[in-house]
Amino acid sequence: MKACVALLVLAVTACACGTGFEVVRLREPVTASRGGLRAHVRQLQISDDVASDGLSADSEIVAEVTVANLGDRDYVLRPSGLTWQMAIDARAPGETRSLPSAWGDEGPFDGSDGDGGYHLKWQPVVVPPGQTRSYWVVFPGYDFAGNNIPRRITLALPDPAGRPLELTLADPANGFARWEVEAPPAIWMLGVQTHAMYGGHLRAMATSAQLSRTARIDRWRWDVGFASRLLAQLQGALVSTTSAFTGLAVNAHVTAPLWAGGRPDSPIEVGVFAGGEAQVLIAIQRGDEPASMPPQIYGGFGGELGLELGLGAVKRAATPFPLTPVGPPLPLLISRVAYTHWWVGNGHSDGYMLGFRLAW
């Protein structure tokens, strides 16, 4: 049992600490031409911390640009030639911020390299006449005052004459220049749940604090997590001089949707869920019991089947660029009621569970 708990701790921690990138598609692809050069941006990628923290020192933005040489001479693109500008107002140039290019390479960006795995290609990319090349470059973020105020975002690269060719990727004055990104795929949730067991083998009340990781697969949801439990036995076969137990449980559930409604910014979702858990219960001893008497320890399993109500939607953090979530969002609050059945202490009992969880 201890091995199972340790493995789940490692798995959930890995989910929390893993870093990756999310694809951002421009609702209106941007193209700019001048001097025999045409540049095109259809999508970007942002590091997944932007969903919860906005633009910060840990953020990275990947610009994917396609360059077509329409002239009669080779076009040379150097990584240091690309710049990222974020302006609030043309009348306040002192408030404009820029992100310097840090890493880049030719071809598509697949996000397979981890932090530190990128390499800046110092050798220039040469685009022969009549040919097209794809290029990606990473712009690291940093902390500054007003870093998540909406701004006009421009990506600039030099044209054949060395003049900056600008692609306006976002502009607060253009409501249709949106960046479409999938709704947050996974979140942490904190909650409380109670169990009432009323079988002949065990009559008890239990209260648990719950930490879980919740995610979506299409419209289905799944979660895996931990519960820290306090159980009071009213009648049963478990041995404890205080009739109380403390314990830890690991659990997992899958939810299938039945009905969805509400407003787009505040949806309501009803579904049916099923799941199970493994738990360890340790008897709480009286203070006058000798230390040489170890407490009774019980391992057990349980299954659940019930209804789930999801309210609200987890929203993305404020950013200087206009992110528009697409796809079904994860709920802000989840409430559950379920039938449960426990196998513990060489017996089994029926019961019911009530619980709620809030997005963290």
pLDDT value of position 4? 40
Stated as kind and residue range, the H or E segment containing 50 is helix 50-53
* 15 pLDDT more than 70: no
Please give the mean pLDDT across all residues of the chain: 88
pLDDT value of position 260? 93
Amino acid at residue number 154: T
* 16 pLDDT more than 70: no
Q: Please give the structure tokens belonging to residue 89.
A: 């107002």
The reported pTM is 0.76
114 secondary structure, DSSP code:
-
The domain limits of the chain are 19-182, 183-359
Q: Please give the structure tokens belonging to residue 298.
A: 């019980």
245-282 pLDDT, tens digit per residue, is: 999 999 999 999 999 999 988 999 999 999 999 999 99
Q: Which residue has the tokens 């479409």?
A: 180
Q: How confident is the model at residue 110 (pLDDT cuts 50, 70, 90)?
A: confident
* CB 194 within 8 Å of CB 354: yes
Residue 161 to residue 196: CA distance in whole angstroms: 76
19-182 to CATH, choices 3.90.550, 3.30.310, 3.90.220, 2.60.40: 2.60.40
Phi-psi region at 4: left, alpha or beta (left = phi > 0; alpha = psi -120 to 50): alpha
Q: How confident is the model at residue 146 (pLDDT cuts 50, 70, 90)?
A: confident
Q: Which residues contact 81 (CB under 8 A, 6 or more apart)?
A: 157, 158
Mean pLDDT for 4-33 is: 66
Mean pLDDT for 306-328 is: 91
Q: Which residues contact 72 (CB under 8 A, 6 or more apart)?
A: 36, 129
183-359 to CATH, choices 2.40.160, 1.10.3470, 1.10.1420, 3.30.2220: 2.40.160
Q: Which residues contact 18 (CB under 8 A, 6 or more apart)?
A: none
Residue 7 to residue 76: CA distance in whole angstroms: 51
Q: Please give the structure tokens belonging to residue 71.
A: 């002239």
State whether residue 14 is helix, strand or coil: helix
Residue (of 281, 79, 279, 55) closest to 179 by Cα position: 55
157-213 pLDDT, tens digit per residue, is: 999 999 999 999 999 988 878 899 988 888 999 999 999 999 889 999 999 999 999
Q: Which residues contact 183 (CB under 8 A, 6 or more apart)?
A: 216, 313, 314, 325, 326, 327, 328, 329, 330
Q: How confident is the model at residue 19 (pLDDT cuts 50, 70, 90)?
A: low
Q: Which residues contact 59 (CB under 8 A, 6 or more apart)?
A: 46, 47, 49, 50, 53, 140, 141
Q: What is the CA radius of gyration of the chain?
A: 28
pLDDT value of position 124? 80
